[in-house]
Structure 1
Amino acid sequence: MGDLIGIGLLILISALFAMSEIAIAASRKIKLRVMADEGNIKAAAVLKLQEKPGAFFAMIQIALNAIAILGGIVGEQALSPYVESVLTIFYQGPLLEQMSFILSFLAITSLFILFADLLPKRLAMILPEAVAVRVVTIMRWVTFALTPLVLFFNGVTNIVLRLFNVPAEREDIVTTEDIVAMMDAGAEYGSLQQQEYDLIGNVFDLEARFLSSVMSPRDQIVYFDIKEASADISSKIIDHPHNHFLVCNGNLDKLIGSVESKDILRQVLKGEAANINDDLLEKDIFYLPETLSLSEALNAFKGAAKPFAVVVNEYALVVGIVTVKDLMKGFMGDLITHTGDELIIERDENSWLVDGLTPIVELAKVLDVDEFPDQMHYETVAGYLIYMMKRIPKRAEYIQYGGFKFEVVDVEGIRVEQLLVSKIAAATNTASGHI
């Protein structure tokens, strides 16, 4: 009976070590750091153990192998007499002893596989952090008790790893891909709401998107000429109720400053003629290069404390204007504002009307396309067509990519105004085509 109790104790001890090995290895550092920040001392101990796991794993292997050897020695002696006494009821031949040994061996092996290996490891995989914080103290004491053996085997292991030019310790760096994978898993299982998922995904796009994807382009800028008539100024304010207007001397490349519409409206309310004078003119214009990413532009706005910026190219020519609201819409979208001017209109489940100025990343999300070809060379859907065709496309021309057909619906001068994007039967990738 004592041997059977010994086998039970060996199985329990082996289960503890097997469970500890998997739990500490599988525990997520992000979750452990959160627990440690909340004051969980044992979570901090698990993190420390993960940073230098060599000694811990050496101890685990020493313990598990010792238990396995003891289990084999004790197990066969413990069960063989009982198995033999049962077998004598059915068989008393010359092979009785051998059969008892084989059945005892199979029984002990099965018990160890089931209760000392599979079940504890499954439990540790399901609840790695919870198990790890409960066993870490015991594991640290056992590691300390086996210090001589741990140092020897861990040292030999490190020498072998260095001989093969393999790092002795794991570098745990959380990459963007890791975070995206966690987001996908959270969205799939419902722990991350769709709005949260979209917002976090858009934040990662801040470095990949440039000002040209959110700014109002040059031809859409409404500005005042310094010599503009009072009636024209009033008419522009009525037709385009913006907070600020640029003031130029002839054209946009000769900027003088900016003016707030409320200052001009104040003149009108006083019964005066709307005009732009030096008292109303703000000559300190905030400029940003078009090569800035959205993240860099946000930082620039933070330092400048300006409501808008004039976007210029490398030749110091004005290419657009951008506001803080434009930047916020770039990664928050309809969470902060909603306008009636939809850039992407779904006609049915297989086709969309798309504005030529639509950022290519936004269209990629709608179509569930991972990435368009050479995406770093353009920002908008119109830019994608021009890049692929190597010229200004004409009406009714199209290209195919990723199972979609991109057909030009409307062209205004040299600008692609609108496209029809539709699914095609076979997913073919074609550089260009025409009807």
Structure 2
Amino acid sequence: MSTQQSLFLIVVLIVASGFFSMAEIALAASRRIRLRQLAADGDQRAPKVLQMQEQPGDYFTVVQVAQNGIAILGGIIGEGAFSPFISSVLAHWLDSNHASTLGFWISFLLITSLFILFSDILPKRLSMVEPERVAMRVYRPMLLVITLLKPLVWFYSKISDLVFKVLGLPMLRDERITSEDILAMTEAGTQAGILAQNEQRVIANLFDLDNRLVTSAMTARDRIAFFLQNDSDALIRARIGAEPYSTYPVCDRDIDHVIGYVDAQDLLQRALNNQPISLSDDSLLQKALVIPDRLSLAETLEQFRQAGEDFAVVVNEYSLVVGVVTLNDVMSTVMGDLIGPDDEELIVQRDEHSWLIDGITPIEDVVHALHIDEFPHFEDYDTMAGFLMVMLRRIPRRTDSVNWGGYKFEVMDVDSYRIDQVLVTRLCAEGQEPTEQETANLGAPAP
């Protein structure tokens, strides 16, 4: 075989190997969501590629057989084409044995470099740019090759299937889309400028509904404005003016005996019409939805939907009222910063390295604000105050502090046993994560 013929065959082999490299990466990297979109747009090739992705055994068997065969053949032809020529050139300076050996290695490196560059790196990089488009273009030629090599494909596929079964490996790719996949896509969309950051935050908050308890969104017990059933007209009117809310629980004797609720609009209508307000009036009192405090926000939404209500009383396992929650509270958790800030923000950033956080702030909001990966014993508490109690192992006092995740959490104000304000400061030097015993700095009792 002449040198020109050998060179021509090497070029053909490089092109063929490049084709199979493109076909391999294109099928593996093609996104099913993108292929489904192309199929919905009427591209008839996209469903074929999707079908091939579901059963890729024959496809990749052909690729491997072809690539290995081409590589071996390329080495044989390349050595015969380049080695004699290079050896003859080197023979002018070296003896024949050394020239032959060195010529062989130079020929080997040359052929290997050509195959690596033009049949591996460049085709695969091209396929990674637009894998779906490449996969649809190479689909029909690959079907032809699979048909031509059917006996070999069947033989190697059966052997590989047997090995998979013996090792207990999965035969099919799991194509289920998880919430983590969707969140990763939205984060990528935000980085690419396709999604606004607030929009991505709303989507993330939606997926958090299953993980956040209703206690993270409710109005806590000590902040509930409620009426007793025997409250006078004057007292009711005064409380509405002092504590304007949309809904008020109505209780018998104390807050732990809720008998219903009243809508502020109904009370206002009576006040404007100069009608007396009596909570014993059945036309005013509505039955309250009561839910346990262990429900997630997603389950709370389902309870609202089933009951046709937008207000619920939250009780613990001892049937004590721990708070109230409205549909608006849940939706505010989802919308986050897209709706206006509350009159009293729970998290106030003082500067780049410090925050003032209310003790009742849900711990999930603290995680988002400070970008801390996780808090210790996360399942044992719901709020900032709960975190400090768990870490200190007692009721916190003013000046008590805890270091965690590169931040210092210092109790600034305590009202009776309630933690009002916590000062969070970013530590300048973040070293190894301290242990629980090292993180708690106990302050003296407030004078």
| TM beyond 0.5 | yes
Say which SS state the counterpart of residue 245 (structure 1) adopts: strand
How far 1:316 moved relative to its partner? 2.1
Distance 2:404 2:91 in 1: 77
1:359-378 superposed matches below 5 A: 359-378=362-381
Distance 2:114 2:426 in 1: 58
Change (3 A) 1:128 1:286: same
Distance 2:394 2:90 in 1: 93
Change (3 A) 1:6 1:229: same
Between 180-189 and 242-251, report the one with greater CA deviation. 180-189
AA matched with 1:55:
D
Distance 1:371 1:251 in 2: 38
RMSD of the alignment, in Å? Answer: 2.6
Distance 1:21 1:199 in 2: 38
AA matched with 1:112:
F
How far 1:189 moved relative to its partner? 4.2
How far 1:359 moved relative to its partner? 0.8
What residue in structure 2 maps to residue 222 of structure 1? 225
Distance 2:196 2:256 in 1: 46
Unaligned runs of 5+ in 2: none
* 1:322 paired to 2:325: yes
% identical aligned pairs: 44
How far 1:265 moved relative to its partner? 2.1
AA matched with 1:388:
M
* 1:24 paired to 2:32: no
1:262-291 CA distance string (max 9 Å, x none): 222222222333333424323422111111
How far 1:187 moved relative to its partner? 3.7
Say which SS state the counterpart of residue 407 (structure 1) adopts: strand
What residue in structure 2 maps to residue 432 of structure 1? 440
AA matched with 2:396:
P
Q: Contact 1:249 / 1:256 at 8 angstroms: preserved in 2?
A: yes
Q: Contact 1:329 / 1:337 at 8 angstroms: preserved in 2?
A: no
Q: Contact 1:7 / 1:74 at 8 angstroms: preserved in 2?
A: yes
How far 1:195 moved relative to its partner? 1.0
What residue in structure 1 maps to residue 65 of structure 2? 62
How far 1:191 moved relative to its partner? 3.9
AA matched with 1:225:
L
What residue in structure 1 maps to residue 309 of structure 2? 306
What residue in structure 1 maps to residue 198 of structure 2? 195
Change (3 A) 1:156 1:230: same
Question: Between Structure 1 and Structure 2, how many residues are aligned?
Answer: 434
Distance 2:106 2:394 in 1: 80
Say which SS state the counterpart of residue 416 (structure 1) adopts: strand
AA matched with 2:10:
I
AA matched with 1:302:
R
Change (3 A) 1:107 1:394: closer
What residue in structure 2 maps to residue 129 of structure 1? 132
Say which SS state the counterpart of residue 397 (structure 2) adopts: coil
What residue in structure 2 maps to residue 161 of structure 1? 164
Q: Contact 2:21 / 2:124 at 8 angstroms: preserved in 1?
A: yes
Among candidates 245, 257, 262, match of residue 259 of structure 1:
262
Q: Contact 1:264 / 1:275 at 8 angstroms: preserved in 2?
A: no
Distance 1:344 1:110 in 2: 59
AA matched with 1:333:
G
With the length of structure 1 as denominator, give the TM-score of the two structures.
0.91
1:218-261 CA distance string (max 9 Å, x none): 12111222221111111112222222222222222222222222
Distance 1:326 1:94 in 2: 88
Distance 2:375 2:219 in 1: 23
* 1:419 paired to 2:414: no
Say which SS state the counterpart of residue 212 (structure 1) adopts: helix
Change (3 A) 1:98 1:251: closer
Distance 2:323 2:351 in 1: 33
Unaligned runs of 5+ in 1: none
1:48-87 superposed matches below 5 A: 48-79=51-82, 87=89
Distance 1:172 1:344 in 2: 40
Between 168-177 and 51-60, report the one with greater CA deviation. 168-177
Say which SS state the counterpart of residue 284 (structure 2) adopts: coil
AA matched with 1:433:
N
What residue in structure 2 maps to residue 239 of structure 1? 242
Say which SS state the counterpart of residue 241 (structure 1) adopts: coil
How far 1:297 moved relative to its partner? 0.8
How far 1:431 moved relative to its partner? 4.2
Q: Contact 1:42 / 1:137 at 8 angstroms: preserved in 2?
A: no
1:382-402 CA distance string (max 9 Å, x none): 111112222211122122212
Distance 2:441 2:109 in 1: 70
Distance 2:414 2:71 in 1: 77
What residue in structure 2 maps to residue 280 of structure 1? 283
Distance 1:258 1:215 in 2: 16
Say which SS state the counterpart of residue 319 (structure 1) adopts: strand
Among candidates 383, 388, 392, match of residue 385 of structure 1:
388
